[in-house]
Amino acid sequence: MKTLPVLALAGISAVGMGGWYKFHHLKPKTLREYLEWQGLRLLSDFEENYWKSILDENQKLISDLNLGSGTASLREWCRRSLESKSYDNLISNASSLCVDNPKTVKARMIQLYGSADGLISQDNDYKVAYVFRKHIEGFHSLIGYTPKVDEKGNEEEDLDAAKDAFKRWCEDSLNKPVEDTLVRNVKSLCTPKGFSSISDLINQRKETSLLLTDSQNSSKLEKKYNDIKELASWTAENKTSNGNKKDLSDWCKESKDKNFYDQGVFSEVYPKFRYRCLDEQKN
C-alpha cells in the first residue's frame, strides 16, 4: 500500500487549519452581528410602536422569558442579548423579539398605527359600516358575501348575514401573513364609521342648520310639505294626518333618530329623509 510523504500530510494539515482559521474569524462575534449578517433589521429604542407589535405577537414567548408586559423590559433583554458572544441558544428568541419582522397583518397595523384597538368590535358597528361600504367595487367579493337580489336586481337586505360575513373577514384578516394591500384594506374597511343614527351623521357632516325642522327654516318646511303631500310615497306613510307641515316635521324628527343598523333605514328611510327634511338648495 502506498503512503503519502510526511511533507504531503503536513500540507493537508495546513490547509485544514487554514480553513478552520478563516471560518473562526468570519463567524459573527456577537448576536447583533449574526442577525445583521442574516439581513435582519434590529429595532432601535425609539421605535415604540414596533416594540408594541412584538409584545402583542409574541405574548407566550415573552411570558416564558418572564419579561413582563411592557416594552422597557423587552428592550433591555434585547440590548443585553445582542452583545452576547455565546449566542447560539439566543438566536431563535432574538429573531422574534429584537428585529423588524412582523408575521401578521395585526402586527403590521400595530407598527403603523400603534394599536389595532380602533377596529370595529360591535355587531351594530359592522352593520353600519357594511351599508355604507357595500357599494365599493369588489367589496362583496373581498369579504366573501353575495347578497340576494330581487327580480329587479336590487339587494334584498339581510344585515345579520352581511354582518357575519364582514366580521369574519375582518377578524380572519388580522391573523393572515403581512401583505401591504390587505393591511390597507383592513384599516379602511374594518374601522367604524363613527356614527349610528341619521342624527349622528347629520351632526358629523355639520348639516344641522339645513334641517327643515329648525325654526329658521319654517317657511321651507311648509313649502316642502306642499310639494310632497299628494305624492303616493308620502300618503302611504301618513294614514293619520294633521293636513299641514306638522306632519312632515313629526316624520323628520322621528326618522332622524333611526339607526342605520336597523333593517331598511339606510336603503329606504335615509334617502327620503335627505329629500324631505334637508334644505335642498344648500344640500
Residues 218 and 242 in one domain: yes
Residues 174 and 248 in one domain: no
- Evaluate whether 207 touches 278 at the Cβ level (below 8 Å): yes
Residues 185 and 204 in one domain: no
Structural domain includes residue 260: yes
User: CA-CA distance, 68 to 1, in Å (whole number)?
Assistant: 68
Amino acid at 46: F
Residues 227 and 182 in one domain: no
C-alpha cell, 93: 428568541
The pLDDT of residue 77 is: 97
Residues 82 and 130 in one domain: no
The gap from C-alpha 124 to its chain's centroid, in whole angstroms, comes to 17
Structural domain includes residue 114: no
List all residues 6 or more positions away from 50 whose beta carbon is below 8 Å from its beta carbon. 43, 100, 111
The pLDDT of residue 282 is: 63
- Evaluate whether 128 touches 195 at the Cβ level (below 8 Å): yes
Tens-digit pLDDT profile for residues 71-99: 999 999 999 999 999 999 999 999 999 99
3-state secondary structure the chain: CCCCCHHHHHHHHHHHHHHHHHHHHHCCCCHHHHHHHCCCCECCCCCHHHHHHHHHHCHHHHHHCCCCCCHHHHHHHHHHHHCCCCCHHHHHHHHHHCECCCCCHHHHHHHHHCCCCCCCCCHHHHHHHHHHHCCCCCHHHHHCCCCCECCCCCECCCHHHHHHHHHHHHHHHHCCCCCHHHHHHHHHHCCCCCCCEHHHHHHHCCCHHHECCCHHHHHHHHHHHHHHCCCHHHHCCCCCCCCCHHHHHHHHHHHHCCECCCCCHHHHHHHHHHHHHECCCCC
Structural domain includes residue 118: no
Structural domain includes residue 261: yes
Residues 169 and 207 in one domain: no
Q: Structure pTM?
A: 0.84
Report the number of distinct structural domains present in the chain.
3
Residues 24 and 44 in one domain: yes
Structural domain includes residue 4: no
List all residues 6 or more positions away from 251 whose beta carbon is below 8 Å from its beta carbon. 237, 238, 276, 277
Structural domain includes residue 283: no
Residues 156 and 231 in one domain: no
Residue 18 has pLDDT above 80, yes or no: no
The pLDDT of residue 6 is: 47
Structural domain includes residue 110: no
Which residues partner with 99 through β-bridges?
42
What average pLDDT does the segment 184-192 reach?
98
Q: What is the mean pLDDT of the chain?
A: 91
The pLDDT of residue 76 is: 96
Residues 230 and 248 in one domain: yes
Residue 16 has pLDDT above 60, yes or no: no
Tens-digit pLDDT profile for residues 196-218: 999 999 999 999 999 999 999 99
The pLDDT of residue 150 is: 87
Structural domain includes residue 96: yes
C-alpha cell, 233: 310615497
Tens-digit pLDDT profile for residues 39-78: 999 999 999 999 999 999 999 999 999 998 899 999 999 9
C-alpha cell, 269: 328611510
Residue 32 has pLDDT above 90, yes or no: yes
Tens-digit pLDDT profile for residues 86-144: 999 999 999 999 999 999 999 999 999 999 999 999 999 999 999 999 999 999 999 99
Write out the residue range of the structural domain in which residue 267 sits.
198-277
Residue 14 has pLDDT above 50, yes or no: no
Tens-digit pLDDT profile for residues 221-265: 999 999 999 999 998 887 667 788 999 999 999 999 999 999 999
Residues 56 and 92 in one domain: yes
- Evaluate whether 216 touches 279 at the Cβ level (below 8 Å): no
The pLDDT of residue 4 is: 45
Tens-digit pLDDT profile for residues 149-186: 888 888 889 999 999 999 999 999 999 999 999 999 99
- Evaluate whether 128 touches 192 at the Cβ level (below 8 Å): yes
